[in-house]
Amino acid sequence: MGVGAAAGAVAGGGFALSAHASGSAGSKPSGGAGSLVFDKDGFTELTTTITTDDGDKEVTYHFYKAVTYVARPVDEKYQSLNVSVPVEIDGQPVNASGAPILLANSVGGYMPSSVADATGVGGGGMGGGMPPGGGGASPSPGAPAAGGTGEVPSGGNGQLDDAGKRVSNAELALAAGFVVVEPGARGRTLTDAEGTYYGTAPAAIVDLKAAVRYVRFNKSRIPGDTDRIVTSGTSAGGALSALLGASGDSPLYAEYLEEIGAADASDAVFASGDWCPIADLEHADMAYEWNWGANELSGGGLVDRTVSKELATAFADYQASLKLRAKGFGSLTARNLDDYLLETYLRPSATAYLKGLPESDRSAYLAANPFITWSGGRATFTWDGFLQHVGARKKNTPAFDAFDLSSGENNLFGTGTTQARHFTLYSLRHEKGGSARLDPDLGEKLKLMNPMHHIVKERNPGRSRHWWIRVGTKDSDTSLTVVANLAASLEQLGDDVDAYYYWDQGHGANTDAAGFIAWIAEVTGHDRKKENGGSGR
């Protein structure tokens, strides 16, 4: 869609426009756009059955569809959100006015994500959820796939539980009585009629921040507690959710937000839920080789040894630069990070998994996996044993900044009519020679896309203080160090971090979704409100 056409559509009146609703508006957003006033009456009432760990729940809710969340949209198909507000659960009335708000993005592969065609919460009624990436745009011809592997990106609706069944945080949150906001966002493959890329970095995070601002600007018009916004996302969406949490109210995004007419309100979020975040992109090639360098590719064979070793060596400097410390380990370095991962995450995760198995299944698992020593109710194993157990690595080297510019991330850092660019000096100089320099705009764009910048470098005071971070131990879409470093850097700042590696799970796993919902109720204080007969059910 062309920029002009989209803007015209808004002037003509989007779903969000309503003369009578604007009468109840408090302040107006800067830029004088009354269109950012949420129409409380613009819903359809829907009823759906949501399967939870506590059995099926029949939920009646108000569904607000495709509400444009910026005053000067580039493309409303993506810059719009859906709101679901529970009004009755299993026949009991619900007052969600003080409930937490889950802002669940469905971004996958840094692709465009649209909720405009969804028929209910979680993309409901669309044959088991929206297709990966939000089901919006199909990539333009020749557009690079996520990770350069031709894989299908997962996205928020691509999460799987331990039985391999689709799981939706959005649906479970609604069934728990929370308000659910599902924002779309521009993505890397979008081009206008002139062939200009308008969804590459930092478009997706700018859009998601604008969505947060819109919700907060509409405090009391959108039911729910705007001081208790919790974001969630998976993979690229997990990285963006982490970035929302880390970069709250950062001035770095101001110009971009102004450009699209974002509401004049805070974009800080209370808590951040991040599944297998594909984050820290400019360091991800190094981290990947440190982690998976010795693992064969799925078709067999090792990746280029020189490239892999050079990247793994460079990782040591990066890891040291983070200046992370952990109890019992001192400084976390490339030399002790394997032990740190084993002790902090991998062995406890294997232990919990094995403890949860019936005796005969545990014996069978241990017989099939002799790399594990099971003693005194605890699993131990070596790093090499673990790597062999995981087996084939998913990506070639470099995993993210591909030499031939074929990765999704190369496209993410495209600009203007340039589809894909290098974003690390290593890959750039490998291709262009030793003195080549990255395009000057990339320094800032990398910061805009990297939660670690806001945590480690900025110690951003506007960040979330509550974090739920998850990844599967068999997920080689990125390095397992990404989650460990994200969690350790937040812990170092004193934040409340609940990080867990799901044993033997791959990319997109969410095997404790009910735990996330309970965690939201706990950290937001919603469970106490309910006990006191407050605004909860």
Q: Taking the mean position of all CA atoms in its chain, how far away is CA 392?
A: 25
Q: Closest-CB residue for ligand DHB?
A: 235
Residue with Cβ nearer ligand DHB (129 or 408): 408
Quick one: tokens of 100? 């937490």
CB of 278 to ligand DHB, least distance (A): 4
Interface contacts to ligand DHB, rule CB under 6 A? 108-110, 146-147, 153-154, 235-236, 278, 408, 477
> Are the CB atoms for 340 and 324 separated by under 8 Å?
no
**In this complex, which beta carbon is closest to ligand DHB, that of residue 111 or of residue 222?**
111
Residue with smaller CB distance to ligand DHB, 145 or 514: 145
CA angle at 160 for the pair 142 and 133, rounded to the nearest 5°: 30
CA distance 304 to 147: 17
Provide the minimum distance between the beta carbon of 366 and ligand DHB in the complex, in angstroms, as a whole number: 31
Q: Shortest gap between Cβ of 154 and ligand DHB (angstroms)?
A: 4
256 vs 262: CA distance, rounded Å:
9
* Residues 456/462, Cβ–Cβ less than 8 Å: no
- Rounded to the nearest angstrom, the gap between the alpha carbon of residue 311 and the centroid of all alpha carbons in its chain is 26
Which CB atom, from 50 or from 482, has the smaller least distance to ligand DHB? 482
Least distance from ligand DHB to the Cβ atom of residue 146, Å: 4
User: Nearest approach, Cβ of 417 to ligand DHB (angstroms)?
Assistant: 23
What one-letter code names the amino acid at 419?
Q
102-141 burial, b at 16+ Cβ within 10 Å, e below that, comes to: bbbbbbbbbbbbbbbebebbbbbeeeebbbbbbbbbebee
Minimum Å gap between C-beta 189 and ligand DHB is 13
Q: Which is nearer to ligand DHB, 442 or 482 (CB)?
A: 482
Using the minimum distance from each CB to ligand DHB, give the nearer residue, 154 or 464.
Answer: 154
Tell me whether residue 131 or residue 153 sits nearer to ligand DHB (CB atom). 153
Least distance in Å: CB of 180 to ligand DHB? 21
DSSP string, 4-42: HHHHHHHHT--TT--HHHHTT--SPPTT--GGGS--TT-
